[in-house]
Amino acid sequence: MRGGGLLVAGTTSDAGKSVVTAGICRWLVRQGLRVAPFKGQNMSLNSFVTRGGAEIGRAQAMQAQAARVEPSALMNPVLLKPGSDRSSQVVLMGRPVGELSARGYHGGRQQALLGTVLECLEELRATHDAVICEGAGSPAEINLRRNDIVNMGIARAARLPVVVVGDIDRGGVFAQFFGTTALLSREDQELVAGYLVNKFRGDVTLLEPGLDMLHGLTGRRTFGVLPYAHGLGIDEEDGLRVSLRGAVRESVVAPPVGEDVLRVAVCAVPLMSNFTDVDALAAEPGVVVRFVDRPEELVDADLVVVPGTRGTVRALAWLRERGLADALVRRAAEGRPVLGVCGGFQVLGERIEDDVESRAGEVEGLGLLPVRVRFAVEKTLARPSGEALGEPVEGYEIHHGVADVRGGEAFLDGCRVGAVWGTHWHGSLEGDGFRRAFLREVARAAGRRFVPAPDTSFGTLREEQLDRLGDLIEEHADTDALLKLIESGPPGGLPFVAPGAP
């Protein structure tokens, strides 16, 4: 097989498209096939830098890891990074090309990118046995269909079969499946092969009569019912979640190796980006991570993280409005640990000069680190490596702010003053040795008898999570039928479901 393909669409955002795409990629690669993920257009503040220096969505980087291939810009040719409710930075083939309003993008610019998207897809199909594409939102967003380049637009142009994923845990999944199909044009419906139920709890036999009725109404089968699985470790596209959700929100935190736990509070700043930086902390036994937006929630925290953000000046104003800025200043004065990453690092400095992102001009920072930041038009995209706390460190950089470090102790590309650390490097805590050394420093400064586990491997945990995704597909989906779709394309003779697109 060469050049097979499948589009994983969803009834809604967060229906589980990323999970299913990653799971199919891992299942296929375990069958000995060369697989690549693809998402023509992605809207996300969580991004990643490839080894070639291209910025793509973190979800596609995770899916590439599931497929055991190196991430590339081909896998996510268009990335939109929201800067407000109405505008986004457009990243094309891994490089920013400007800011556009939602009206300007959907009004014509989007359709102009369809050729680039299809060229990337075809290049991947020419070099892989299968390309598993992820849609965005819902394919039945009829107001956006004319210029669509990520759902039925590419499915029709590339003749891809489509499987629609629905989250049954939210309720209404049968109506979602039927309505999604019935709102598509006849030509689009011809590509929709069937459905995949996600996040089911209970006895699947109770669901089967509904699936039979759905088949009778639409002429389309259901390719599987995936059970609700706690703690699936995937990189979320957006929202206030972290990828190792089980360690953060859903499951009991593993007991500490030492006598104390370590409490980490992450400031939930506006336009928060790459909050996946705290995943590795959440994976450590005895480390409790939570997101906070009130100063009183910092009181019992042993470490406060100010994460990256697409709006540094806006985040700074938010911290001040909420009283969190004063709480951070008090922590620093008391010698209690604070870590700023990327935009969070910039916030901790003395001054920000921004005529690019917010166009606010010169703004006073929190003054916790001897750093002055000037925003440049050119975005820094890099994969740095170095050493800190006696351990090797690797990371990635995505920022417009250029830091002028004027003192303190060197820390990665930033600095440290007392118990306040700052760096532009994302992903540094994924290195096991460095993370343990950093947590020992935090525990010492916080007066906690916390001991990092000696054997936690974040890379191993991530691989285990990806294997769990592959297991979900292998054990609960009709893999023979999915493979036939990928190899042979959309099945013929699928009936039209009225009324179709208006």
Query: How far, CA to CA in Å, does 395 sit from each of 37, 51, 63, 266, 424?
Result: 23, 11, 19, 19, 9
106 DSSP assignment: I
Written in H, E and C, the secondary structure of 233-257 is ECCCCCCCCCCEHHHHHHCCCCCCC
Give me the DSSP letters along 250-292: ISPPPPPSSS--EEEEEE--TTEE-GGGGHHHHTSTTEEEEEE
Q: What is the pLDDT of residue 247?
A: 37
Residue 256's pLDDT band, with cuts at 50, 70 and 90, is: confident
Residue 310's pLDDT band, with cuts at 50, 70 and 90, is: very high
The catalytic position among 342, 399, 415, 424 is 342
Query: How far, CA to CA in Å, does 338 sit from each of 201, 305, 416, 439?
Result: 40, 6, 10, 12
Separation CA 479–CA 11 (nearest Å): 21
Q: Is 132 left (phi over 0), alpha (psi -120 to 50) or beta?
A: beta
Separation CA 20–CA 273 (nearest Å): 23
Q: Is the pLDDT of residue 279 over 70?
A: yes
Q: What is the pLDDT of residue 238?
A: 45
Question: Above pLDDT 90, what percent of the chain?
Answer: 85
Annotated catalytic residue 342: yes
Written in H, E and C, the secondary structure of 419-463 is CEEEECCECHHHCHHHHHHHHHHHHHHHCCCCCCCCCCCHHHHHH
**499 preceded by cis ω (within 30°)?**
yes
Helix segments in 128-252, DSSP class H: 152-158, 173-182, 186-189, 208-218, 245
pLDDT tens across 398-429, in order?
A: 999 999 999 999 999 999 999 999 999 999 99
Residue 167 phi, psi dihedral angles, 5° rounding:
-90, 100
Overall average pLDDT of the 321-349 stretch: 97
Residue 99's pLDDT band, with cuts at 50, 70 and 90, is: confident
**Stronger pLDDT, 256 or 371, i.e. the higher one:** 371
Strand partners, 166: 197
Separation CA 484–CA 444 (nearest Å): 57
Separation CA 283–CA 246 (nearest Å): 9
Q: Which helix (H) or strand (E) holds 330?
A: helix 324-333
Strand partners, 118: none
Q: What is the pLDDT of residue 1?
A: 63
pLDDT tens across 21-31, in order?
A: 999 999 999 99
CB 14, CB 239: distance < 8 Å = yes
Q: What is the pLDDT of residue 365?
A: 97
Separation CA 178–CA 186 (nearest Å): 14
Specify the pTM: 0.92
Residue 255's pLDDT band, with cuts at 50, 70 and 90, is: confident
Annotated catalytic residue 120: no
